[in-house]
Amino acid sequence: MDCATGMQEYSARARHGRLRLLQERIFGKGRLSAYGLAAPLAASRLSAFGDCAPQTISHLFAQLRRECDIFPGQRHNVVWRCVMTYRCVATSVAGFVQQLAVGYITHGYYFHVSGWVPDHKYPPSTDAKIIAQYGLDLSRWARCRRRKQGQASVQYLRYGRFFVIVATHGEHPFFGAEAATVRDVRVNPIYFMGYSIGCRQARGGGAYHASVRLERTLCQQLKQRFTAAALRLPLLELIHQFQRLPYEPYAPVRDQLRTILRSVNRQRRVAGLELVPADALPRHRRPVRPFE
């Protein structure tokens, strides 16, 4: 094998490795992308190029746009747009609540519209429509520039068929299109899977901060359930019941659970039974990756 042939084979292997790495970064390893395109389908589209396969990275993305038409909108930097795909689909309830409260409301996204994707509609198609309608697929630097110009930032988040669109102060077509349904999270919290996700002001007139607590109706139901079982169930079973509650221990949630625990121990103290220890309640919340 001469030197020229060896260099050609080395370049071909390196190019194949780069294309495969980019394919995994864009479409994920076997997961659906934000636009509902699976990695096996993307691989078949790439293999269909045959001898006309793109020779450079920019040609790869340009041909992907022409063949697949999965990246709506026009952007001068095709590579940047493909790598920075807008992520909006949470993979768990804990991830949805964390991203909404910690990622958005904490940073000033006070105005919201929430709803459910109808059963007859495909959720990824709804995602793509909303992202294109409000131009949400922006980099953090573009959002920063828009904020300095007095324009609002808008974010979209979905779990299952429940979605929420949140926005900051400023000007944006979102406020005109959703004028009849826009709510302020500081006044009207978002109710999702038993959580009440709102925003409250610190004591003494301090800054606003996100507040995640259990819905009032759910908290009352839990209190009735545990107080009814306070004298009936043994101590270990009560501890397991508290530990198996599927709610993230945000500070307001911990306060609500402590109230329920005090009601249980009040009954057990009168009956002369051993009290449920405070360690039965979770103390720390584990951060999760909302989109993975």
Instruction: Indicate if 68 and 168 belong to the same structural domain.
Output: no
Q: Does any domain span residue 140?
A: yes
Q: According to the model, what pLDDT value does residue 206 have? A: 80
Domain boundary among 194, 213, 232: 213
How many Å apart are CA 168 and CA 249, to the nearest integer?
A: 27
pLDDT tens, the chain, 292 aa long: 555 555 556 565 665 565 566 555 554 554 444 334 433 444 444 444 444 444 444 454 455 444 444 444 444 444 444 444 889 999 999 999 999 999 999 999 999 999 999 999 999 999 999 999 998 988 888 888 988 898 999 999 999 999 999 999 999 999 999 999 999 999 999 999 999 999 998 877 788 899 999 999 999 999 999 999 999 999 999 999 999 999 999 999 999 999 999 999 999 999 999 999 999 998 889 999 999 8
Range(s) of the domain holding residue 67: 3-83
The total number of structural domains that make up the chain: 3
Instruction: Indicate if 184 and 100 belong to the same structural domain.
Output: yes
Q: Does any domain span residue 193?
A: yes
Residues pairing with 20 in the sheet: none
Q: Does any domain span residue 291?
A: no
Domain boundary among 62, 83, 104: 83
Q: Does any domain span residue 290?
A: no
Amino acid in position 14: A
How many Å apart are CA 72 and CA 252, to the nearest integer?
A: 41
Q: Does any domain span residue 287?
A: no
> Which among 203, 200, 134 has a CA at the least distance from the CA of 163?
134
Instruction: Indicate if 234 and 209 belong to the same structural domain.
Output: no
The helix/strand/coil state of 156 is strand
Q: According to the model, what pLDDT value does residue 11 have? A: 61
List all residues 6 or more positions away from 196 whose beta carbon is below 8 Å from its beta carbon: 189, 190, 212, 213, 214, 215, 216
Instruction: Indicate if 98 and 198 belong to the same structural domain.
Output: yes
Q: Does any domain span residue 57?
A: yes
Instruction: Indicate if 161 and 189 belong to the same structural domain.
Output: yes
Instruction: Indicate if 180 and 209 belong to the same structural domain.
Output: yes
Q: Contact, 215 vs 194, CB < 8 A?
A: yes
Instruction: Indicate if 271 and 166 belong to the same structural domain.
Output: no
Instruction: Indicate if 117 and 192 belong to the same structural domain.
Output: yes
Q: Contact, 273 vs 78, CB < 8 A?
A: no
Q: According to the model, what pLDDT value does residue 124 have? A: 93
> Which among 213, 211, 195, 212 has a CA at the least distance from the CA of 203?
211
pTM of the entire predicted model: 0.70
Q: Does any domain span residue 88?
A: no
Instruction: Indicate if 208 and 222 belong to the same structural domain.
Output: no
Q: According to the model, what pLDDT value does residue 208 have? A: 87
